[in-house]
Amino acid sequence: MKKIVEKKIYGADVTARKISPVKQNKAVKVKSLNRHYLASENLCRITFRLPKEAAHNAETATVVGDFNNWNPTEHEMKKLKNGDFTLTLELPCNREYSFRYLIDAKRWENDWFADKYVPNDFQTENSVVIT
């Protein structure tokens, strides 16, 4: 029995057909937090990705969070040709880090696929990545 599953990913409608409980075709694969654990050290290499749909034609974007004492200029992201922004950081494992993206030094955006969200002191939420 096939079941149609509809999801919204960054504003786009994506349809996946469920073929069996263990196997699924996906029309789009989106990862905004990609992790790579380093075997020799207790570190996790995390690639943050802010898609162009969330950046809205931004010129600059930074990752701001617990790992940089919420310094808005320390971790500037690289703008890709497709309009996405990306940055890779190495962070200690077995921790949770609150963070947000600062776009064009004036607009805050959460990661749409964060591990979870927590309330902040500004009546909004922060994204959380778990290493």
pLDDT digits (tens, 9 = 90+) for 57-95: 899 999 999 999 999 999 999 999 999 999 999 999 999
Task: Report the chain's C-alpha Rg in angstroms.
Answer: 16
Tokens of 20: 């069996």
* Number of Cβ within a 10 Å radius of residue 62: 23
CA distances from 5 to 18, 21, 23, 25, 47 (A): 7, 13, 13, 11, 28
pLDDT of residue 20: 35
pLDDT of residue 31: 66
Tokens of 16: 């996946």
pLDDT of residue 38: 86
Consecutive 10-residue averages of pLDDT for the chain (131 residues): 41 37 41 82 93 94 97 97 95 96 97 95 95 91
pLDDT averaged over every residue in the chain: 82
Distance between CA 126 and CA 117 in Å, rounded? 6
pLDDT of residue 101: 98
Tokens of 74: 């320390």
- CATH superfamily name and code, 31-130: Immunoglobulins (2.60.40.10)
Domain spans of the chain, in order of start: 1-30, 31-130
At residue 90, the 3 state secondary structure works out as: strand
